Amino acid sequence: GDSVTQMEGPVTLSEEAFLTINCTYTATGYPSLFWYVQYPGEGLQLLLKATKADDKGSNKGFEATYRKETTSFHLEKGSVQVSDSAVYFCALRRASGGSYIPTFGRGTSLIVHP
Amino acid sequence: NAGVMQNPRHLVRRRGQEARLRCSPMKGHSHVYWYRQLPEEGLKFMVYLQKENIIDESGMPKERFSAEFPKEGPSILRIQQVVRGDSAAYFCASSPVVAENTEAFFGQGTRLTVV
């Protein structure tokens, strides 16, 4: 079945450091890929998405490129802020038997220190 | 346009009691997904519903758990005879259409604690 694998956290960085959170997926066909962010005590919010190979999703300084050849969708940001501290989830969605159930990775916690 | 509304935000139940979790999808959304989040385990899919129909319940335990999405009113996730292992955050998400390139919109979750 479909699956999403993320790097384990927590990822601890100093403010203004470069961020990479790795995400790889297993799925047949051509899924759409998403990054969600969850702040403490809250639900998940969409951060960015890409719907086909080589697409780049971007939002709030975060970027991720859909790499079909490596089945990856790594999240990057050039300069993190304390306010970016949260849990980040990589997800995919594709047609399967008529349903499009989103599949999530385990989440990666990011802690940014001043 | 209000987002996905879940209530209650926090729920405490004693072992053996019933827990009822409610989810009102965004206006115009007819597809609802329930997920359970345990510490260090991420989001686990439980059930997918459309109005008056369960489409996929492959992630839901066969006993004690049930879900519905009636023609009128919110979607309900019911857990009977709760046990300590049911303590978790339960999230509901909704979508307007069945399509792989659309996002799912999440509620703020219900945090269930079984004492």
Give the least confident one: A23-37, A55-69, B97-111.
B97-111
Go through B92-102 and write b for each residue having 16 or more CB atoms within 10 A of its CB, e for each that does not: bbbbbeeebbb
User: Looking at CA atoms only, how far is residue B3 from chain A in angstroms?
Assistant: 11
Dump pLDDT digits (tens) for B92-112.
999 887 776 788 899 999 999
Q: Please report which confidence band the pLDDT of residue A84 belongs to, taking 50, 70 and 90 as the band edges.
A: very high
Hey, are the CB atoms on A94 and B100 less than 8 Å from each other? yes
Q: What is the pLDDT of residues A35-54, one digit of tens each?
A: 999 998 889 999 999 999 99
Read off φ and ψ for residue A84, nearest 5 degrees.
-80, -5
Mutate to test the interface with A, among B26, B100, B106, B108 (most CBs of A within 10 A): B100
Chain B residues closer than 8 Å to A101 by CB: 33, 45, 48, 56
Per-residue pLDDT reduced to its tens digit, B18-47:
999 999 999 989 899 999 998 777 899 999
Average pLDDT over residues A80-107: 89
Q: Provide the CA B21 distance to its chain's centre, in angstroms.
A: 7
